[in-house]
Chains A and B, each alone.
Chain A
């Protein structure tokens, strides 16, 4: 059987260069005309520990990891702590070959480095291969690398072998190497790539799997969700970021820090996340477009500055990159369990805007919208995503980024505007007026003549003076609350909604999800429709203010709906029921919280369980029926 797609898994130890090798592999396939998507899995360790990246490639657009994989390049873990013994973590050196071997598809290919992995250490390998129709190619990758260059170049030998087995052109790989290195290192790598390819090409081969062919209508770029967020911020004129490292938020922080100096911006790594958020407020108050962010624990520390931003109406954009919690949880594993944390943290009747993009292109779009809303409405806007979307790479049309920058400070006066702005009888500029219908009272910037005001976290009068007067209190609370309605209207009135629809409009069943699971759900919807079901999906990105109209219309149009999310407490389903006040009997849940994102097949199974009843096949996912079921 010839498969329509390649899911190439490169597995080794942390520190074995898996990331860069897979990135180049994906890029080379993208250049050759294929659509690509990567899924990375790594432990919270710097050296050793099983790590792998899957590169999925097809001629059609690909928006999810696959179900399992069909090509395994097992490098062996050169940094294994307990190479030989049956240690707590298992036999580490051979783990890249043995871990998740069950997920290798029938007829799949295994290439392993016999320089590091002894086949007698791997129980029943040949037996299992015979059973599953796997094609096993033991190769001394380490030896090849050592002979023509250096041992660490065995990744290159593995890529050469892959090219030989799948009939892939070497040119895009050689081009990429030439762009990234030079001198002797480059020569040796090219040499190894060619020699490995030639050596394997001469071997007897008995598999069917080949690389698919494809072409792109326009130029493509390979980007991650974190790149999308950072580039969106840059294009909105964000030139200030403050942060403290924490996985996976560090990705955005790093990309911004590397780019800001070149564009006259400022990046500050500071003492903690309370400071980081407070710095973003200080910079914004002084007239810069500013951001900060963190992951769960660090974002918890930002709770009080977040409330200060709301109360002083200081525009700011924060990023929350979720990972598995609670507490330190599983630092390098994705989860979507911080939703309620982000929606509700900080005391009082506080308001913020929360967007959860569904893919890298949406990450760019919604980071831009977050800045627009934050500065137009003087409210904190949060971009919520997770470890999965943070690091996964996919190809996006280059033209998607071909947009005009928008450095506007939003509802901000210039010095010339100030004399005509409302003033108190004493002559004082009124920064926090009671009456604006959309809740927004324009601000001034320190240094401007005639615009002085006090920004305070205490309740305050239109002039910014601290006050506990009941009438003023009610006026200010009401005005701040009016912003959310105005923002909802603004978003609904835009040309493109943040919600993403997929599948036949008149379908009987629905699947709803939020954020990073969107692409996987869409693939499941395609498969279900091919299998004769009638299903469509909705990926929700606006979480606050909630897109009532969009979701209500979707839910009304279907008989039943499955809500897919990566947490154990069905937070997004809960939010939907709270916001809409009904649909409890229509909504069932499919949950996953084992540290790995959904595979499309799991959603297919979950959907079938929701329709037909019965049990899910394994413990990886959990099904919760609708109320009254």
Chain B
């Protein structure tokens, strides 16, 4: 319970009834992605999940990277930070540290998150910040017109790899798991119900929740599948594993990552762990305040410490 005399952030913690329309910007309501683009699916699922959870648009901070995917917060009306290529995670996690009461979501493309921002992905997962990270995985650089991305299949031809990529694609689910993410899932734009459920779970999860979101790019990735048909591994008898068991999860991820390039789209929850979030850990060692730091700047009664009181050691 907050002991602040007046709450400076009235949008936080209201838990009121929310219409999905509240997340639609008044000025530019129509997203300008190409027709048939999977990115629409993420927007819709995010709106659905946030409405279901009763999150006020103004208690959400949506930080994005650069790419077609990075436009998400142009079309989702909340507080937003459209950062630079690959850097949504460090911006987002610091906002969460400064004000843990915010609902923080980061999002970006496969190039953004698994390529140029890969180091941040690894470390944010390792630290287990209490936030959601949605990676729009279209296996391509969309915005820059179709170059090979870290998830493009081996052999994929593009203008920058005219003879086909000689590289094996990255394994995003496995990477999240070994790095320390405590919730790992894969969903697809073509499966809106599952997508909404998974985002809802991820937002509710207390820790770093990573969603590899398959988003078809009909413009630049024509030869790629449209991610149909898909299988929900939780519903399939073929894949029976315990999502809380790290070894079993790891095996299932490995299989799903291989299967994608063989034409089989395996989606669903892959891992869930309840290890403490970074905020909890940092508070436990005494390096994070109990009250959100951001509130202090609006509290006129707060007694600010002075360096003058530290001078004994310099005398």
Chain A residues packing against B (C-beta within 8 Å): 27, 31, 219-223, 227, 230-232, 234-235, 237, 239-240, 242, 259-268, 270-272, 274-276, 278-283, 285-290, 304-305, 307-308, 312, 364, 398, 401-405, 407-409, 414-415, 424, 426-428, 445-458, 463-466
Contact = CB atoms under 8 A, between A and B. Distances in A.
Nearest to A312: B81
Given A283-B98, A463-B27, A304 B84 contact: yes
Contacts of A427: 26
Given A274-B87, A286-B94, A287-B98, A266 B289 contact: yes
Given A279-B94, A285-B95, A286-B102, A234 B307 contact: yes
Contacts of B60: 446
Given A235-B306, A282-B63, A458-B82, 5 more contacts: A264-B293, A281-B94, A288-B294, A415-B10, A448-B9
B235 to A, nearest CB: 37
B107 to A, nearest CB: 13
A315 B229 CA distance: 48
A424 B307 contact: no
B78 A452 contact: yes
B180 interface: no
Nearest to A31: B315
B97 A454 contact: no
9 contacts: A266-B288, A279-B94, A286-B99, A288-B293, A449-B9, A449-B10, A449-B58, A454-B74, A464-B80
Contacts of B83: 278, 281, 308, 457
B99 A287 contact: yes
Nearest to A426: B26
* Closest A-B pairs by Cβ, 5 of them: A282-B94, A447-B9, A287-B294, A231-B307, A426-B26
Contacts of A231: 307, 310
B171 interface: no
B238 to A, nearest CB: 38
B118 to A, nearest CB: 10
B95 A415 contact: no
Interface string B284-315: 00111101011011100010111110110011
A239 B305 CA distance: 11
Contact of B58 (A263, A308, A408, A452): A452
Contacts of A398: 308, 311, 315
Interface string B14-28: 000000000001111
B73 interface: yes
Interface in B209-226: none
B81 A287 contact: no
Nearest to A227: B314
A282 B315 contact: no
Interface string B32-50: 0000000000000000000
A285 B101 contact: no
A465 B144 CA distance: 21
A446 B80 CA distance: 9
Which of A261, A280, A286, A456 gathers the greatest number of chain B CB atoms within 10 Å? A286
Contacts of A289: 297
A272 B119 contact: yes
B297 to A, nearest CB: 5
Given A264-B293, A403-B308, A465-B28, A447 B84 contact: no
B98 A282 contact: yes
Interface in B44-81: 57-61, 63, 66, 71, 73-74, 77-81
A240 B79 contact: no
A278 B94 contact: yes
Contacts of A452: 57-58, 77-80
B12 A447 contact: yes
A597 B289 CA distance: 42
B296 A278 contact: no
Contacts of A463: 27
Nearest to B288: A266
Nearest to A456: B82
A290 B91 CA distance: 12
B99 A424 contact: no
Interface of B: 8-12, 25-28, 57-61, 63, 66, 71, 73-74, 77-84, 87, 90-99, 101-102, 119-120, 122-123, 282, 286-289, 291, 293-294, 296-298, 302, 304-308, 310-311, 314-315
Given A240-B98, A447-B294, A455 B82 contact: yes
Nearest to A455: B81
A265 B294 CA distance: 11
Contacts of B57: 452
B95 A283 contact: yes
A261 B293 CA distance: 12
A280 B59 CA distance: 20
Given A266-B98, A466-B74, A286 B61 contact: yes
Which of B78, B305, B314 gathers the greatest number of chain A CB atoms within 10 Å? B314
A268 B282 CA distance: 10
Nearest to B76: A454
Contacts of A240: 94, 97-98, 293
B297 A409 contact: yes
Contacts of A282: 63, 81, 90-95, 98
Given A220-B315, A261-B287, A447 B26 contact: no
Given A278-B83, A312-B81, A283 B97 contact: yes
Contact of B293 (A27, A239, A274, A280): A239
Nearest to B74: A466
A266 B84 CA distance: 24
A449 B82 CA distance: 20
A275 B27 CA distance: 32
Contacts of A445: 8-9, 294
B274 to A, nearest CB: 24
Contacts of B78: 452
A347 to B, nearest CB: 11
Contact of B8 (A260, A405, A415, A457): A415
A428 B122 CA distance: 37
B82 A286 contact: no
A261 B288 CA distance: 7
Nearest to A262: B305
Nearest to A457: B84
B307 A401 contact: yes
Given A263-B305, A282-B93, A223 B314 contact: yes
Contact of A465 (B9, B27, B120, B306): B27
B291 to A, nearest CB: 8
Given A447-B9, A448-B9, A287 B90 contact: no
A232 B310 CA distance: 12
Nearest to A409: B297
Contacts of A307: 84
Which of A27, A281, A450, A452 gathers the greatest number of chain B CB atoms within 10 Å? A452
A272 B117 CA distance: 11
A220 B311 CA distance: 10
A283 B289 CA distance: 14
B293 A453 contact: no
B293 A266 contact: yes
A405 B306 contact: yes
Nearest to A307: B84
